[in-house]
Amino acid sequence: MSITQKEEKKVFGGRQMRFEHVSDVLNCMMQFSVFLPPQADQQSVPAVYWLSGLTCTDENFSSKAGAQRTAAELGLALIIPDTSPRGDDVPDDPDGAYDFGKGAGFYVNATQAPWESHYHMYDYIVSELPKLVEANLPINHQRAISGHSMGGHGALVIGLRNAERYASTSAFSPIVHPTAVPWGRKAFKGYLGDDVSSWEAYDATLLLKKSAGVALPPILIDQGDADNFLAEQLCTHYFTEANEVVGAGAQIRMQPGYDHSYYFIASFIEDHLRFHASNLR
């Protein structure tokens, strides 16, 4: 349960840090980033876990989203894991594709060779990483979860499957119905095999449809209507329809003129952090 600090920068009175550790779940060395607000110098603080999208590492969000200013004001830690296992022994897509293998763990527990030895990102996010940060840093057991694109998919799935662990869930441009779109089908077939029924546990729209009558933590989704992945890969309307059918009460906001980039995330990350803060308290 030990971590090694590699970097630290002061920002908005808090500390932006990077750590590494040996992951038992992923069977490799992993790195993750953390922002600790100034309040963490006096007491333990709640945390928002941020899951990044395809090709990202633990550093994209911390350097591009501008989230630290609001997190410092609200007293929120930001926990930012990598998007896949890493290392020379970790298998990668043989064709070097960006949407499978390293940088594209899809937050599932792989069951197929050669991926099953390392690609257990679901268990890493839900179990191993919280235990690490809560044991080694001034972070308490209050958690919220958010993410972008592939990470938005991960945040919604993890939030829906672990409602008792997260006060709230949010997402930017999430892949809401991965069993129905090319990115998801490719990843699930590779990591989980041909049995499509095994894919359903990692599909937020299908999980939401099964949640009728279940009390869910608050959910907020922002999606730009100028996102070039919206029609083929993200398909927000599937989740919107399921939300209406089951009466889940999720806020789903279409934002005119915004695309898939970190400019979009930076524009609305304050809203998301304030949303989480209100539910964590």
Q: Look up the pTM and report it.
A: 0.98
Domain CATH for 163? 3.40.50.1820
pLDDT in tens, 90-137: 999 999 999 999 999 999 999 999 999 999 999 999 999 999 999 999
The one catalytic residue in 173, 222, 227, 276 is 227
Task: Let me know: does 151 contact 51? Beta carbons within 8 Å.
Answer: yes
Query: Over the stretch 220-258, which tens digit does the pLDDT of each residue have?
Result: 999 999 999 999 999 999 999 999 999 999 999 999 999
Enumerate the H helices of 17-93 as residue ranges: 60-64, 68-74
Q: Give the CA angle between residues 277, 83, 23 to the nearest 5°.
A: 95
Q: Are 68 and 16 in contact (CB under 8 A)?
A: yes
Catalytic residue among 23, 33, 52, 149: 149
Report the residue count for the chain: 281
Q: Where are the beta strands (DSSP E) in 165-274?
A: 169-172, 219-224, 251-255
Model pLDDT for residues 22-56, shown as the tens digit of each residue: 999 999 999 999 999 999 999 999 999 999 999 99
Burial of 197 (0-12, 13-18, 19+ CB in 10 A): exposed
Count of domains observed in the chain: 1
User: What is the extent of the structural domain holding 267?
Assistant: 4-279
DSSP code for 109: B
3-state secondary structure of 219: strand
CB 248 within 8 A of CB 216: yes
Question: Which residue type is seen at 237?
Answer: H
**Is position 149 annotated as part of the catalytic site?**
yes
